[in-house]
Amino acid sequence: MLSSLEQVISTILFASEKLEEEMKQASNLKGLTSRQLYCLELIKRLENPSITELAKNMDIAKASMSVMVDRLEKNGYVLKVSSDSDRRSAHIHLTESGEKAAALHIDLHKHISGLLTQNMTDSEKQILLVLLSKSINFLPSLSNNVR
């Protein structure tokens, strides 16, 4: 058994990164970074956000978000669609490839959650959820995005 919280977190992060890398290799998503995958997942969850909404939710500068979206668009994962109400604004839509990548990333999270909780009772899973939810409230740049 691991002796400290830091070791447990380190082990979970290492395993998660390894599983994500394996998923990317197996699904031809090798060119996407973890942040880009998270961005695609967030676009799916927010249902065609603007660059401003996306930047706010990812807690990065709007200019950096624009660069990321431009790369994702160049690689065929998203489309920028002009807003009907404000031509200066654009909404980000997932392409079929973007939908597949986002779905794979969501499935990866489900898989990791299943692995972490496979030997737990429903009661233990609920306790873990409560404790982790309480913990992320103190991570300001993350707590708004995980829900």
Where residue 43 falls among pLDDT bands split at 50, 70, 90?
A: very high
The rounded distance, in Å, linking the Cα atoms of 41 and 38 is 5
Q: Using one digit for the tens of pLDDT, what is the confidence trace for 74-85? A: 999 999 998 777
Q: What is the mean pLDDT of residues 17-37?
A: 86
Mean pLDDT of 34-60: 94
For residue 94, give the nearest of 47, 61, 54, 138 by alpha carbon: 47
In the numeric block, which tokens belong to residue 2?
């691991």
Which domain CATH number covers 68? Answer: 1.10.10.10
Distances (CA, A) of 74 to 41, 65, 78, 95: 18, 14, 8, 12
Q: What is the pLDDT of residue 66?
A: 94
Helices (H), 30-61: 34-46, 51-58
Domain range spanning residue 11? 5-143
* Domain count along the chain: 1
pLDDT at 97 over 90: yes
> What residue type is assigned to position 73 of the chain?
E
Provide the residue count of the chain.
Answer: 147
pLDDT of residue 125: 95
Strand blocks (E) in the chain: 78-82, 90-94
